[in-house]
Amino acid sequence: MPVEAFVYGGLSAVIAELVSYPIDTCKIRLQVQGQITDDALTAIKYRGTYHTLQSVIFEEGFASLFNGFRFAALRQATYGTLRFGIFFTGKKIWNKRGGSDKNLPFLVSLGVTAGALSSIITTPIDRMKVLSQSTAQSRKRTIANTFRRIYSRGGLSGLYQGKWPNAKRAAVVNGVEIPCYVFVKDRLTNTFGLEDNTYTQFLTALLTSAVGILFSQPFDTAKTRIMQQKTYRTDIRVYEGFIDMCRLTISNEGQQALWKGAFPAWCRNAPWNVTFFLSLEQFRKFDQWINKRDQSYF
């Protein structure tokens, strides 16, 4: 099986992660505060995206905005490679058999499958990333040290803590964003007659970001809060799962708390998707040129 979709998908994801990472740190700081389950996180320290950005830089230094980037890069190099590779390989097979990009239910089911499988496999990396971003770090830890630390305190279950909320979030994100991009771009170019150029791709990626956040933010909040919890401690209330997290959050903080960090999430997601899809389109052209074919593999 050709590996172009996997390689170019992973490279595009790493580039997009680098561009948007400081905003992702702000989003996670906003998501974890206000929880009554952990006294260290009960206080509302940050007030919005700009205040979070300003506070982190002033109190911890600019480099703190990139806490855990090594984990994020590794995550995208694995998770990004898998989810985009599985999706675009599946779509290519579908197209070869006469399937259309206008078949939204098929694209959604393919995106959901690719996202869920990829996220479960890479959950340990995602948890290391969340832990490194959620609070100030007194010293930087290597990937190997962080892995050993989590495993020594929680074993294999500690490494895979939050795997189901993570899988649900990834299923929703991938079931919405990738099919949305493919479907909307197909409609804009084939129905409305727009050229398949950078402008069209930029507009499609922006719309994809907004739709993705609308559907996925509650799952993202659940994933962040569950992964951030230190289950080895006996003095905190540990969430029993996605439903329990939602119930406690709504009862103590209100329904809107499930969308905590939605604006920084969009501020992060918009440049992420724009960078990713524009990079992927360039890799698609490169694939056509390097392999001397009329159409890219993916």
Q: What is the pLDDT of residues 215-260, one digit of tens each?
A: 999 988 888 888 888 777 767 777 888 888 889 889 989 999 899 8
pLDDT of residue 137: 63
- The number of beta carbons lying within 10 Å of the beta carbon of residue 57 is 14
Helix, strand or coil, per DSSP, at residue 286? helix
Q: Give per-residue pLDDT as tens, 12-49.
A: 999 999 999 999 899 889 888 888 777 777 888 998 88
Q: CB–CB of 6/81 below 8 Å?
A: yes
Which one, of 258, 244, 269, 271, lies nearest residue 30 by Cα? 258
Q: Give per-residue pLDDT as tens, 157-178.
A: 999 998 988 898 899 999 999 9
Q: Which runs of consecutive H residues, i.e. helices, occur in the chain?
A: 4-32, 39-42, 48-60, 69-75, 81-96, 104-121, 123-134, 143-159, 163-190, 198-228, 242-253, 262-290
Which one, of 126, 110, 108, 123, lies nearest residue 176 by Cα? 108
What's this model's pTM, rounded to 2 decimal places?
Answer: 0.79
Average pLDDT over residues 276-296: 87
The answer to whether residue 143 scores a pLDDT higher than 80 is yes
The answer to whether residue 1 scores a pLDDT higher than 80 is no
